[in-house]
C-alpha cells in the first residue's frame, strides 16, 4: 500500500519541526557559543562586589565561574542591579541569574528557579562586653534594628513577647550597627553575610557574632527561563555537585568567613 504524497510531506515537516524543537535547548546554545553570561549584582558584598582593581568579585562571581568551568566555556559577568535581574534574563542579555535571588512563588511565575544554592541565616551581632552569647541572652536587653526590615519586625515582636528589655528602630543598617558598636543598644539581628562583611571591614574592633537567630532562612536560587528544562535540570545537578564536592563550604569560608557556619541548604521533608 502506497503512502499518499501529502502524508509523506506532512510527516517530513512534523519530523523536522520536532527535531528542531528537541534540539533547541539553551544548555546546548551556551556550550556551542563558548560563553556563559551570568547576571550578577555587584553592590551586595560579599556575594557580589568589585575588588580593589574594580573587577567583579564575591561568592556569586565565583559560582558563575565554577558553572562556566564545568560547562567548558568562558564566564561573562553581566552587572545587574537587583530590580533588573529577571528583565536581563527574559530579554536575552543574560543566560542565567546568579544573584542571590530568593525562591519566591511569585517570582517563579516569571522565571525558572533551581534548588537553593545559598541560604541567608539570621545571626545575633553584639559587642564583646555585653554578656550576650546566644539569641536567648537578648531577653531583657536593649536591642534594635533597621526600621521596616523583616528582622526588625520579628525582633520587636519578640521583645514585646518577652515583656522585658527595649527595642529601638534605626533608619539604616549602618546606623543600627553603629548603635551596637557605640553602646546605644546591646545587640541586633542581621544576615550572616552582613555580619561577616562588618567584621571583615575592620571598622569595629569590639563586635562579634553570638549565634543564630530563630528566624526564617532566606533560600536563594539560580535562575533561567522557565521553558529551558535542560538548563534548569543541569543547574540543579550543578548545585548538588557543589555541595557534595565541598565547594559550597569552600566558597562560604572564602567570602563569609569561619566565624559563622554555612546554613544547611536542605529543607526537612522537602530537599534531601
| Pick among 3.40.630.30, 3.40.50.1100, 3.40.50.720, 3.40.190.10: CATH of 122-212 | 3.40.190.10
Q: What is the pLDDT of residues 211-248, one digit of tens each?
A: 999 998 889 999 999 999 999 999 999 999 999 999 99
Confidence tier at 20 by pLDDT (50, 70, 90): very low
Burial 54-80 (b: 16+ CB within 10 A, else e): eebbbbbbbbbbbbbeebebebebbeb
Q: What is the pLDDT of residues 41-88, one digit of tens each?
A: 998 889 999 999 999 999 999 999 999 999 999 999 999 998 899 999
Q: What are phi and psi of 25, to 5 degrees?
A: -120, 135
Q: Summarize the confidence of residues 249-269 as an average pLDDT.
A: 87
Task: Return the CATH fold of 26-119+220-256.
Answer: D-Maltodextrin-Binding Protein; domain 2 (3.40.190)
Confidence tier at 179 by pLDDT (50, 70, 90): very high
pLDDT confidence of residue 3: 54
Question: How far is Cα 46 from Cα 62, in angstroms, rounded to an integer?
Answer: 11
112 touches 192 (CB < 8 A): no
Question: How far is Cα 174 from Cα 145, in angstroms, rounded to an integer?
Answer: 10
Flag whether pLDDT at 6 surpasses 70.
Answer: no
DSSP 188: E
Q: How far is CA 133 from CA 77, 125, 138, 187, in A?
A: 40, 10, 9, 10
Q: Where in the chain is the domain with CATH 3.40.190.10?
A: 26-119+220-256, 122-212
| Residue 191 neighbours by CB distance under 10 Å | 24
Write out the three cell numbers for 9.
Answer: 510531506
DSSP 121: -
Flag whether pLDDT at 19 surpasses 60.
Answer: no
Amino acid at each position: 500500500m502506497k503512502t499518499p504524497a501529502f502524508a509523506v510531506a506532512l510527516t517530513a515537516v512534523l519530523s523536522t519541526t520536532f527535531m528542531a524543537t528537541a534540539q533547541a535547548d539553551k544548555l546546548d546554545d551556551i556550550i556551542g557559543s563558548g560563553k556563559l553570561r551570568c547576571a550578577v549584582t555587584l553592590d551586595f558584598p560579599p556575594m557580589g562586589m568589585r575588588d580593589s582593581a574594580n573587577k567583579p568579585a564575591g561568592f556569586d562571581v565565583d559560582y558563575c565561574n565554577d558553572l562556566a568551568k564545568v560547562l567548558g566555556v568562558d564566564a561573562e559577568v553581566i552587572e545587574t542591579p537587583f530590580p533588573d535581574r529577571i528583565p536581563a534574563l527574559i530579554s536575552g542579555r543574560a543566560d542565567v541569574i546568579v544573584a542571590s535571588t530568593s525562591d519566591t512563588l511569585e517570582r517563579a511565575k516569571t522565571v525558572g528557579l533551581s534548588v537553593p544554592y545559598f541560604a541567608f541565616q539570621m545571626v545575633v551581632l553584639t559587642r564583646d562586653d555585653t554578656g550576650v552569647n546566644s539569641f536567648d541572652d537578648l531577653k531583657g536587653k536593649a536591642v534594635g534594628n533597621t526600621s521596616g526590615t523583616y528582622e526588625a519586625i520579628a525582633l520587636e515582636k519578640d521583645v514585646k513577647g518577652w515583656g522585658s528589655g527595649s527595642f529601638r528602630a534605626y533608619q539604616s543598617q549602618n546606623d543600627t550597627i553603629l548603635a551596637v558598636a557605640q553602646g546605644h543598644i546591646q545587640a541586633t539581628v542581621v544576615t550572616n553575610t552582613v555580619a561577616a562583611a562588618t567584621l571583615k571591614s575592620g571598622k569595629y574592633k569590639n563586635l562579634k557574632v553570638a549565634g543564630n537567630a530563630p528566624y526564617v532562612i532566606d533560600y536563594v536560587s539560580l535562575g533561567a527561563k522557565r521553558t529551558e528544562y535542560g538548563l534548569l535540570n543541569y543547574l540543579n545537578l550543578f548545585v548538588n555537585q557543589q555541595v557534595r564536592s565541598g565547594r559550597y563550604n569552600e566558597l562560604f569560608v572564602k567570602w563569609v568567613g569561619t566565624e559563622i557556619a554555612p546554613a544547611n541548604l536542605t529543607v526537612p521533608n522537602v530537599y534531601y
